[in-house]
Amino acid sequence: IGGDSHFPSPSSSPPMNQAPLNQRFRIFKAHSAILRARCPFFEAALSSEWVKKEGSLMIIKKPNIEPRTFDIVLTYIYNGTASLHEIPPVEIMKLLICSDELALEELITHTQEFLIKNHQQWIQSNVLSILEQVFDHSSFRLLQSYCMELLISTPSLLTQNPKEFLNIEEGLLFELLERDDFDKMKEIEIWDLVLGWGVGNCVGLCDSVCGDDADDVNDTGDDKIKNGRTKDINNHNVENWTDSETQEIARKISNLVYHIRFSAISFQDFSSKIKPFSKLFPVALWNDIQDYYHSSNYLNAASLLPPRRRFDSNILSQEHLEMLSDWIDLKDDFSPLVFPNDDTPYQFNLLYRASDESFNLKTLHERIDYVPNIIVVSKVSGSTEEEIVGGYNPIGWGDSGEFNPDIAYSFLFSFKTREDQTFGKISRIKRAMLDKVKFDSKIGLVCFGSSDLRIGGILRQQSGYTQLKYYESKIRDFQGTFDIDDYEIFQ
């Protein structure tokens, strides 16, 4: 690195540089004034006393940066541009790491944006190895966020490469487990994932949990772990673990187990898939979990987190969703569950909350008309039993005038809560009345059948009405008009 006396005057291109001496080493010539002015790393490096000098030239060696990568960087430093279209994504990642080391913030941002826009499939196929490189770097927030959202939306990417899964840092798993939107897997599968990561990183258990590739026969210890393939740890005989192996796994997953949502795991899964591993849990946490599963009421222990699958409702609870899901699946003999689980097969997406929209009917119909699979729920005013009344419309509200056989799946329902236990009542459409029922109220209240259930209205916005006609049984003891505090509509 020298001045104008050594190289031609600075221009938009660096001086002609020497051809590679080998694939790993190349000499680059550059103007010190340009490097200082345009690159924070060189501004500091060229001003330090440790820089090596040969006569009036300054020598900086960067053995960790490949020549072809630095060639792109040097061109960028001189003319402010970096053409990435002809560069493979693997090389672009190397450029990103190099840009961070040299503190070239604009190039860091540009490189991340280019990767995300132009190499999405490559990122998806290599998401864990990419995160391994960028996870602890604050400069790579764009790429970090993109990769984390990929894992949230498609958690199967976590195990598409078992070797890379075992390589991921605890902090990455921790960040995933913290998130309430990490809900595309069942919670018991998340437990299996955490346990597999802990067992797969235990040196003593590597032989039984990890298989070996032909190229890995000389690996030992941690190397064997990193090159192994995870197998089904549920088939592993935990009784054969030594005390030291158990302690090592417990230590590895000690911070992670607090973010397993045990309130979303059924008692059956807990008994068969978690209880055998009780020694892996901190004593206080395990006691809370035991109390939770063996208590007649839900336990609000500080160490236990609520389910991830939260939904936006001021009226319905998780237990209500489980009942509704069973009824949609034609399982009418539902009995209240002692413990919740995350087997609810449906997502309930809020389309309309009356109180949020000032009970505006125009907004209501803009949101729900012609939308199938609608659940309407209303909270009855003044009820000492937290009464909820509603209905399920599988075909949506419209005015096609044509008979839709799916109307047979419509039902009305009500819920009441007594002594912390929820009781549900369902009423399905009479088969003989299928062709009589229409869902075509597009301007006024929400109506099921004729008079069987009406919610809202123009004159009395916070009211409901029920009078048995087309459905099989009454959902309220008292027929006629009733007042409501609010109502919500979900798809």
pLDDT tens per residue, range 163-209: 999 999 999 999 999 998 898 888 999 999 999 999 999 876 655 44
**158's tokens:** 């976590």
Cα separation values, 202 from 112, 218, 253, Å: 35, 18, 11
Instruction: Give the closest residue to 364 by CA, choosing from 354, 374, 350.
Output: 354
254 occurs within a structural domain = yes
Report the pLDDT averaged over residues 118-125. 97
- The reply to whether 327 and 457 lie within a common domain is yes
172 occurs within a structural domain = yes
CA angle 310, 484, 442 (to 5 degrees): 85
- The reply to whether 301 and 169 lie within a common domain is yes
Model confidence at 344: pLDDT above 80: no
Picking from 310, 331, 356, the residue at the C-terminal end of a domain is 310
- C-alpha 10/C-alpha 74 separation (Å) is 13
Beta strands in 144-215 (DSSP E): 210-211
276 occurs within a structural domain = yes
- The reply to whether 337 and 406 lie within a common domain is yes
- The reply to whether 334 and 437 lie within a common domain is yes
- The reply to whether 422 and 328 lie within a common domain is yes
- The reply to whether 262 and 393 lie within a common domain is no
80 occurs within a structural domain = no
345 occurs within a structural domain = yes
Instruction: Give the closest residue to 410 by CA, choosing from 388, 395, 423, 425.
Output: 395
- C-alpha 409/C-alpha 153 separation (Å) is 31
Q: What secondary structure letter does DSSP report for 162?
A: H
Please write the tens of the pLDDT for every residue from 436-479.
877 766 656 788 877 899 998 777 889 999 999 999 999 998 89
- The reply to whether 335 and 479 lie within a common domain is yes
Picking from 253, 282, 310, the residue at the C-terminal end of a domain is 310
- The reply to whether 378 and 297 lie within a common domain is no
Report the pLDDT averaged over residues 405-423. 89
Please write the tens of the pLDDT for every residue from 236-285.
678 889 999 999 999 999 999 999 998 788 888 899 999 999 999 999 99
- The reply to whether 254 and 284 lie within a common domain is yes
- The reply to whether 299 and 325 lie within a common domain is no
- C-alpha 412/C-alpha 425 separation (Å) is 8
Model confidence, pTM: 0.62
For the chain, the domain total comes to 2
148 occurs within a structural domain = no
Domain residue limits at 187: 154-310
- The reply to whether 395 and 252 lie within a common domain is no
Picking from 289, 310, 331, the residue at the C-terminal end of a domain is 310
- C-alpha 389/C-alpha 464 separation (Å) is 9
229 occurs within a structural domain = yes
- The reply to whether 373 and 472 lie within a common domain is yes
